[in-house]
Amino acid sequence: MTDGPGALRDSKFGHLTVGAIMEKEVQSANKETEAEMVASFMMDGFGSVPIIDGHNKLLGIVSEFDLLTALRKGKKLNEVTAGEIMTANPLSVTQDTNVMTLIDVLQNNHLIRVPVVDSTGKLIGIVARRDLLRGYLQAMT
């Protein structure tokens, strides 16, 4: 195998899609969920929590950064909702997105994870940088 991005793109890893590496069990919340509850989800290992409507459609995302920003503004997390602090219309990918494209999305936007949606915008998973690394290690062995 030669060095360079083309070689990686042509490898077993380079042919993977988000669907092969994403986490399908996603902890999500709605716009009315207290920010304190969202923070508690993060204690269970979820660094960002997608915000969905009653039909599972992605509306936004609350990250640790969003929670810290609320705290820095003097807000108590049990007095604000996810809808008030979420990043609306977040970047997302589909399960058919190629891993090389996913790397670009994450790196170019300085993201740790992105929600995965179907063709109608419904949340079906989440994918993080560590999922990419795990997929790489598994594909290259």
Contact status, residue 99 vs residue 23, Cβ threshold 8 Å: no
d(CA 128, CA 6): 23
* Phi, psi angles (nearest 5°) of residue 119: -65, -15
Q: How far is CA 78 from CA 43, 73, 93, 137, in A?
A: 16, 14, 31, 41
Digits of tens for pLDDT over the chain (141 positions)? 445 556 666 688 888 999 999 999 999 999 999 999 999 999 987 789 999 999 999 999 999 999 999 999 999 999 999 999 999 999 999 999 999 999 999 999 999 999 999 999 999 999 999 999 999 999 987
Question: Taking a C-beta distance cutoff of 8 angstroms, is the pair 114, 103 a contact?
Answer: no
Global confidence as pTM:
0.89
Compute the distance between CA of residue 77 and CA of residue 100 in angstroms, rounded to an integer.
37
